């Protein structure tokens, strides 16, 4: 006898449940996921605006865009991954404090293939390197606001609030710098730290 509140264990699993089980936990948070050479980029949208871009490890599979803004963002992310000179033009949710937005504007002005140190950006803004690093880590729109172009004075520094030298996020930072043409020979003071 099967009790009404216990499922029949011999019954086939519904297809929708099987598909859901094959999606990495967290995929439902994203309006689209774009495959990238380093893993993937998750796109979150809200009210016809891009809310956030997130670097995702390789086990995340592509996810078709759920809305027009996600489709626009996915197309632009894919174009950047093909051509480092591509410039983003996305409708974004207003995010960050006034100071963070000043840091992000300064970062956005760093040319492709170039890097600045946290100290250099801090001096430009009459601030402190640690505050600049924290604003970089709080960036809601990586790739669009290229915080990967900001490094420590003696090495790669952190990235996306992570600083494990051999971790996923610093691997993404290295890939992005190479993709944009930042050469170790142009930065001999960082040669070991950026390109091991």
Per the structure block, which two tokens stand in for 167? 């971790």
Per the structure block, which two tokens stand in for 181? 């043409």
Cβ-based neighbours of 193, under 8 Å, separated by 6 or more:
151, 152, 154, 155, 156
With vertex at residue 107, the alpha carbon angle to CA 130 and CA 169, rounded to the nearest 5 degrees, is 70
Asked if residues 122 and 129 have their Cβ atoms less than 8 Å apart, the reply is yes
Among candidates 160, 163, 150, 162, which has minimal Cα distance to 190?
A: 150
Q: How many CB atoms lie within 10 A of CB 193?
A: 18
**Contacts by 161-169 with C-beta closer than 8 Å and gap 24+?**
161/137, 168/38, 168/39, 168/55, 168/57, 169/55
Q: Which residues are catalytic?
A: 147
């Amino acid at each position: 006898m099967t009790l009404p509140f216990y499922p029949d264990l011999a019954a086939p699993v519904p297809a929708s449940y099987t598909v859901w089980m094959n999606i990495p936990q967290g995929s439902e948070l994203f309006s689209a996921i774009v495959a990238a050479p380093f893993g993937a980029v998750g796109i979150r949208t809200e009210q016809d605006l891009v809310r956030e871009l997130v670097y995702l490890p390789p086990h995340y599979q592509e996810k078709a865009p759920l809305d027009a803004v996600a489709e626009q963002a996915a197309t632009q992310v894919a174009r950047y991954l093909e051509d480092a000179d591509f410039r983003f033009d996305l409708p974004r949710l207003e995010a960050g404090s006034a100071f963070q937005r000043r840091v992000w504007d300064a970062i956005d002005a760093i040319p492709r293939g170039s890097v600045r140190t946290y100290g250099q950006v801090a001096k430009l803004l009459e601030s402190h390197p640690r505050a600049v690093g924290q604003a970089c880590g709080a960036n809601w729109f990586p790739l669009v606001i290229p915080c990967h172009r900001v490094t420590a004075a003696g090495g790669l520094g952190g990235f996306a609030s992570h600083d494990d030298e051999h971790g996923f996020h610093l691997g993404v930072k290295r890939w992005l710098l190479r993709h944009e043409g930042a050469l170790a020979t142009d930065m001999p003071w960082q040669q070991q730290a950026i390109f091991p």
